Amino acid sequence: AAAPNDAGAASPLDQATRASDNVAVVTAETGVLRRLPSIGRSTKLTGEIDRLAWPIYLTAAEAAAAPRLRLAHVAAVSVMPEASRLTVFVDGRDVGTFPVATNGNLRVVELTLPAGALHAGWNAVRVEAEQRHRVECSTASTYELWTEIDRARSGLVFPAAFAPERRALADLADLSPDDTGRIRLRLVTGQDPEPARLARMVRLAQAMALAAGWLDPVVQVTRAPTAGPGVDVLIGAQARAAVPSTAGLAPDVVALVDDPDPTRLTLAVPDDAAALDRVIEQFAAVARDPSGSPDGRAARLALGGVAVSGGERHTFAELGAGSSQFAGRLFRTAVDLRLPADFYAADYAKVDLKLSGGYAPGLDRSSRLTIRVNGRQIAGAPLNAHDGETFSDRLVRLPLSAFRPGRNRLEIEASVPAADDKVCDPSLQIDGSKRFLFVDHSEIAFPTFARAARLPDLAATGAGVFSALGEGLRPKIWAPHPDGRTLSAIATLLTRVAVAEGRVDVPEVAYRNPPTDEPSAWVIGAFADLPATVAGAVGLETVAVHDAWTRRPDRVSQTGDDAADPLMRRASVLRLAADAEEFDPIVTGSLQFRPVSSGSGSGADLVADWRRSMESPWSPTAFVRDAGARVSRAFGPLVGLSTPVAPFAPRASTGVVVAQALSPAGGVWTLTTAASAAALADGVETLTEADRWNGLTGDVVAWDKVDEKLETGDGKPRAFFMTAAASPINLRLVAAGWVGDHPLVFAMLLLLSAGLLGFATARLLPHLGPRP
């Protein structure tokens, strides 16, 4: 702790604890709260420096009302409040600073925003955190620092009787999310929709999500409006008749009906196909040209990642990362990028990162710059010049294979410890000298991308690659049992894919099982409604699935209060796991422990498995076995061979499974399934949450409800599906990428070619030249 101040002197501690005059700590939360929207990441600010940014839409009436901004937050007990603060910006303008909460207690603050700070349309609200540790000054201690904003209690606050006056279709973006940060979009039909009508309804849901900036909406297909947060989309006269405010509307009228509750809206649209297409086009126009301030429009368009098509460069200022002079120990900044769904990630080119900035003299020799992509360290450089350094356009080359289709997160980290850290003086924590400089005209340059779908790949699937496939290979949606829960799961999945892709697209839908000779198919349904051939076609162990999901009643999907209460849902999941796997949920719920099976294999099998796991990967036996597997994976799809892959076997606690595999007919099959239709709808809702959706990878993904994490698998053969017109440049890039993915196979081909050339030369030479 710092020493007491001398009389009349203002220490750095006194100065650091002051908040802006327009900031007040509140104990009674009054007024109408419009919550902050989902931004596709956690609302936890971590480390010594971090930021969160929200694009927020306001109607003209809301902008004129000058609402207050409420931020409810809690910080780790290790955070030093005297040296830690949150700063709020609106459209790049500093509108208030305040110290973070102390001792792990929740604090609610409200900022009175300056007149004219908010505009009708989109606005950019950014919160930046600067945090220091109470007692530690090591680089490792910075990972203990965090401040989390409670999204359920944070947002814009309006007077109790305020009317937002939401009237235009663009005002749909003004809808407040529920307390989980998600939007509930209910498609009310009055009757069960046939496949063509369902496809039109899903296209409407996709257009609404893209226009309103909803990253991960939950879509429900229902016969009647329901209570609770969200938007009821009344499609057709039968659905309108159930709501008094829309019952008298003409059949061709499109109406947005406001509600005093900021979390509710009603949209009435006609059921006629041509009229519905016109409504979809109106929403598409809103998405293409959002209104608002320049910063707000830029933030809206960058939501979910800045789109990158290849062969282009961007400064970090364009990507949303600003310049910074950093006085801590571990600097971090990050940007989100959205790459094409048919981007082929392989080492046929490099990404050029040109950094501008500098670092101070006298830093520890362990100081280092680190680059991460999607959480993986892929490049770095030392920062150990004794006299410091100022650099411009320092080139760091990143492997293209580190990126993937869809959303990517690029992080720049600079570890800059110094000798002062050993003293750990609180006054230096508050007002220390600058150690690292990052300049936002640093840029990243992408090469021309190879464009081809390499499937199975659930990352590409989640990014929308199916829409780029040819007509004969593009999969239909097959629903063996089209009840309301299954149709809701289909609508939620397809809307989430459209948001990731950035455009409206719905494939053909059929209400039956696919024929076995179908080239490509996406089957969505409960496991009990599927024939064994569908599960086997995508590599699921059908007997194990049956044992795991049918030996007990499905009690995870609850109704009533239990379904809405996350704690009750979690308790239900643990009870299910305890019944299925016979362990104590009170203990293992926190330890995430699973009983380990001793296995049923013979002693010889166990010895062989043990010997294989212990052998060196460079041993002749392992080399030959690995080479054979690589050759099979590389050429198997071309010559009709298949590599044996252990089938995936879910557990009783597995909520939903997405599996994908090549089909014998030359396409790709995808299956999304769960124990029941109710479990399928719940599992898809969980899977499509923005953070988890970005975790889709490999050829099989399963959500475990006990461990609350994604399990992924990979290893099935892959094949290329061309998505663009054939061109020499694209074919060359794809070929170069294939060589980079299979260097051992390429080396074997070179050796084989050299051997054949030598053999042919040896046979030919005796027949050349003069003969006796």
Q: Which residues contact 425 (CB under 8 A, 6 or more apart)?
A: none
Which residues 6+ apart lie within 8 Å of 379 measured at CB?
A: 353, 370, 371, 396, 397, 398
| Range with lowest mean pLDDT among 313-327, 397-411, 533-547 | 533-547
* Cα–Cα distance for residue pair 750/363, rounded to 1 Å: 49
pLDDT confidence tier of residue 724, bands split at 50, 70 and 90? confident
Instruction: Residue 12: name the closest of 327, 325, 322 by CA.
Output: 327
Neighbours of 395 (CB within 10 A): 12
Structure-token pair, residue 308: 């990158």
What does the pLDDT read at residue 11? 46
Residue 659: CB atoms within 10 A of its CB come to: 28
Tens of pLDDT along 145-204? 999 999 999 999 999 888 899 999 999 999 999 988 999 999 999 888 999 999 999 999
Higher-pLDDT residue of 314, 754 = 314
Token code pair at residue 81: 């409040």
Contact residues for 124 (Cβ-Cβ < 8 A; gap 6+): 53, 54, 55, 56, 89, 90, 91, 92, 293, 295, 296, 298, 299
- State the Cα–Cα distance between residues 720 and 738, nearest whole angstrom: 10
Q: Would you state the pLDDT for residue 570?
A: 60
Domains of the chain, earliest start first: 12-158 (2.60.120.260), 175-294 (3.30.379), 306-445 (2.60.120.260), 453-591+625-719 (no CATH)
Q: Are 57 and 120 in contact (CB under 8 A)?
A: no
Query: What radius of gyration do the chain's Cα atoms show?
Result: 29
pLDDT digits (tens, 9 = 90+) for 249-304: 888 899 999 998 999 999 999 999 999 999 999 999 999 999 999 999 999 999 99
User: Is cis: bond before 515, omega within 30 of 0?
Assistant: no
Q: What are phi and psi of 525, to 5 degrees?
A: 180, 170
pLDDT tens per residue across span 634-664: 555 554 455 566 788 888 889 999 999 999 9
Task: Give pLDDT, residue 706.
Answer: 87
Distances (CA, A) of 175 to 169, 231, 591: 11, 8, 39
Report the percentage of the chain scoring pLDDT > 70. 85
H/E run at residue 46: strand 44-46
Pick the residue with more confidence: 507 or 564? 507
- pLDDT at 5 exceeding the cut of 70: no
Task: Find, among 683, 674, 670, 659, the residue nearest to 525 by Cα.
Answer: 674
pLDDT at 217 over 70: yes
Q: Three-state SS for 130?
A: strand
Instruction: Answer whether residue 506 shows pLDDT above 90.
Output: yes
Q: What is the pLDDT of residues 73-110, one digit of tens each?
A: 999 999 998 899 999 999 999 999 999 988 888 999 99
Q: Is 31 left (phi over 0), alpha (psi -120 to 50) or beta?
A: left
Q: Could you give the CA distance from residue 277 to residue 157 in angstroms, rounded to a whole number?
A: 36
H or E stretch at 631: helix 620-639
Q: How confident is the model at residue 579 (pLDDT cuts 50, 70, 90)?
A: low
Which run of H or of E encompasses 286?
A: helix 273-288
Q: List all residues 6 or more positions away from 656 whose beta carbon is below 8 Å from its beta carbon.
A: 672, 673, 674, 679, 680, 682, 683, 684, 686, 687, 702, 703
Compute the distance between CA of residue 203 and CA of residue 190 in angstroms, rounded to an integer.
18
Question: Which whole number is the average pLDDT over 654-677?
Answer: 95
Mean pLDDT of all residues in 524-551: 89
Closest Cα partner for 482 from 319, 677, 342, 669? 677
Helices and strands (H and E) in the chain: how many = 22, 36
Judged against a pLDDT cut of 80, whether residue 554 lies above it is answered with no
pLDDT band at 615 (very low <50, low <70, confident <90, very high): low
Q: How confident is the model at residue 592 (pLDDT cuts 50, 70, 90)?
A: very low
Cα 672 to Cα 684: distance, rounded to the nearest angstrom: 9
Q: Give tens-digit pLDDT for 486-503.
A: 999 999 999 999 999 999
Q: Is the pLDDT of residue 451 over 50?
A: yes
